[in-house]
């Protein structure tokens, strides 16, 4: 049987301090030792089941990391204070001054800015490519390239990366293949298609309640150990720790991720199909006209659907702004960035989450100023929401 990520989470057994069905929340930043010798041993090589200091590991972040690495089928994992810190620490651990990264050009604006503006200050440069053009990816790899970086389904254009082909290309040149799977947890298992590191913004679908920021990376034990090295580990020394109470609450939310992803996908498909039936320019990988629809079908776990992210191009920034204001009034959802909430969230990436990308480059990659990105919610009655959407489109003259 093929890998079943939700079953892997379901089978984790946890015993809290008093036998609780959820792990007890650890309320200490430092931990006692019965002898100085044990402390010394802990510093030198670590001791299974022992904790030293909560920036290194704390029990709750370890439980969450273990559950996520089970979900991804990787040897190990680590959780961090945000998606950006998971991405930043991973890249800093893998690259040093003089190294290059080849990255998809359609990625989250914060990641783009990290690669384009920040890492060059440390001598690490990035070549941005159209990740669906494999000749362009191959041509961008040089002897200095260390990392191939992509999102599984890109933010905000919803391009689907051909993970097995990209993994093969990366491994032929001894690169580490890093995949951000934030838009599609459970839908894709990138490590099964050759990803060496899977990074997440937990802030989105995985936590699902828009009440906290967090990040994670799932990878080989060797890389996680390197990130946590007291001498030169990026996660250990830069210190982006996820608070224990947040780790505990995110683990509890992870338990219902399979139900939520099915509902997001069911509503996302209904939303996209309705917009398409009105002949509006909608992008959704679940629609047959999406350029990577067949590829996604081949790589996904079909039971979780095509995801909750949909985009609609309304032609201009003015149209987008008018429509978003009206949709909020009509209770379609919230005008807000982020994704993976029970309510539908919408924003215009050109002026918000992708504003770090210069306008000329946005145009070159097909990111129009009129593009609205929807994270479709968990609405029980999606027909009611679609009625509100139609009413909103009528009010601004787009239908």
Would you tell me which residues interact with ligand PLP (CB under 6 A)? Answer: 82-84, 108, 110-111, 151, 155, 180, 182, 201, 203, 213, 215, 353
Report the residue number, 84 or 95, with the smaller CB distance to ligand PLP.
84
| Tally of CA atoms within 13 A in the half-sphere of 161 that contains its CB | 37
The tokens describing 102, both together, are 């080849």
Query: Rounded CA gap, 333 and 210, in Å?
Result: 14
CB of 178 to ligand PLP, least distance (A): 11
Residue entry with tokens 């800015």: 113
Report the residue number, 250 or 396, with the smaller CB distance to ligand PLP.
250
Report the residue number, 92 or 396, with the smaller CB distance to ligand PLP.
92
Omega of the bond leading into 223 within 30 degrees of 0 (cis): no
CB of 214 to ligand PLP, least distance (A): 7
CB of 381 to ligand PLP, least distance (A): 28
Report the residue number, 119 or 213, with the smaller CB distance to ligand PLP.
213
Report the residue number, 235 or 393, with the smaller CB distance to ligand PLP.
235
Residue entry with tokens 């580490």: 176
CB of 388 to ligand PLP, least distance (A): 25
Report the residue number, 94 or 393, with the smaller CB distance to ligand PLP.
94
Query: Rounded CA gap, 290 and 101, in Å?
Result: 28
CB 373 within 8 A of CB 311: yes
| Range list of H helices, the chain | 5-10, 36-45, 59-72, 83-94, 109-113, 134-140, 163-172, 221-227, 234-238, 244-254, 257-277, 293-299, 317-329, 359-365, 382-395
- CA nearest neighbour of 88 among 121, 119, 123, 127: 119
CB of 187 to ligand PLP, least distance (A): 14
Report the residue number, 149 or 319, with the smaller CB distance to ligand PLP.
149
CA dihedral 185, 190, 195, 201 (to 10 degrees): -10
Report the residue number, 151 or 330, with the smaller CB distance to ligand PLP.
151
Query: Rounded CA gap, 346 and 271, in Å?
Result: 13
166 phi, psi to nearest 5 deg: -65, -40
Report the residue number, 151 or 162, with the smaller CB distance to ligand PLP.
151
Evaluated on CA atoms 237, 59, 86, 83, the torsion sign reads negative
Query: Rounded CA gap, 111 and 285, in Å?
Result: 22
Report the residue number, 83 or 307, with the smaller CB distance to ligand PLP.
83
CB 320 within 8 A of CB 280: no
CB of 222 to ligand PLP, least distance (A): 24
CB of 183 to ligand PLP, least distance (A): 6
CB of 126 to ligand PLP, least distance (A): 16
CB of 185 to ligand PLP, least distance (A): 11
CB of 341 to ligand PLP, least distance (A): 12
Name the residue whose CB lies closest to ligand PLP: 83
Who contacts 367 (Cβ-Cβ below 8 Å, separation ≥6)?
A: 106, 156, 157, 349, 350, 354, 357
CB 344 within 8 A of CB 375: yes
Residue entry with tokens 């391009």: 159
């Amino acid at each position: 049987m093929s890998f079943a990520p939700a079953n892997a989470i379901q089978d984790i057994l946890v015993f809290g301090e008093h036998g609780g069905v959820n792990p007890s929340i650890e309320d200490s930043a430092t931990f006692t030792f019965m002898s100085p010798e044990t402390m010394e041993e802990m510093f030198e090589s670590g001791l299974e089941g022992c904790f030293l200091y909560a920036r290194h590991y704390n029990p709750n972040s370890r439980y969450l990391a273990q559950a996520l690495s089970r979900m991804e089928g990787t040897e190990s994992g680590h959780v961090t204070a945000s998606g950006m810190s998971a991405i930043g620490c991973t890249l800093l651990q893998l690259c040093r001054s003089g190294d290059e990264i080849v990255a998809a050009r359609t990625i989250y604006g914060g990641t783009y800015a990290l690669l384009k503006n920040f890492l060059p200050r440390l001598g690490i440069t990035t070549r941005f490519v159209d990740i669906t053009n494999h000749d362009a990816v191959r041509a961008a790899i040089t002897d200095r390239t260390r990392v191939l970086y992509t999102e599984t389904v890109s933010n905000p254009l919803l391009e689907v990366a051909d993970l097995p082909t990209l993994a093969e290309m990366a491994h032929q040149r001894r690169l580490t293949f890093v995949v951000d799977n934030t838009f599609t947890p459970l839908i894709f298992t990138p490590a099964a298609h050759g990803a060496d590191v899977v990074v997440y913004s937990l802030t989105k679908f995985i936590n699902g309640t828009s009440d906290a920021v967090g990040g994670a990376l799932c990878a080989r034990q060797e890389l996680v150990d390197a990130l946590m090295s007291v001498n030169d580990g990026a996660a250990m020394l830069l210190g982006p720790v996820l608070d224990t109470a947040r780790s505990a609450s995110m683990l509890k939310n992870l338990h219902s991720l399979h139900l939520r992803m099915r509902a997001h996908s069911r509503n996302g498909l209904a939303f996209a199909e309705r917009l398409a039936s009105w002949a509006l320019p909608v992008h959704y990988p679940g629609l047959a006209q999406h350029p990577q629809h067949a590829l996604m079908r081949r790589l996904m776990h079909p039971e979780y659907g095509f995801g909750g992210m949909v985009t609609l191009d309304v032609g201009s920034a003015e149209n987008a702004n008018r429509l978003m204001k009206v949709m909020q009034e009509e209770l379609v959802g919230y005008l807000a960035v982020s994704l993976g909430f029970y309510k539908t969230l919408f924003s215009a990436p050109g002026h918000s989450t992708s504003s770090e990308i210069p306008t000329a480059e946005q145009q070159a990659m097909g990111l129009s100023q009129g593009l609205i990105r929807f994270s479709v919610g968990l609405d029980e009655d999606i027909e009611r929401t679609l009625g509100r959407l139609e009413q909103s489109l009528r009010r601004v003259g787009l239908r």
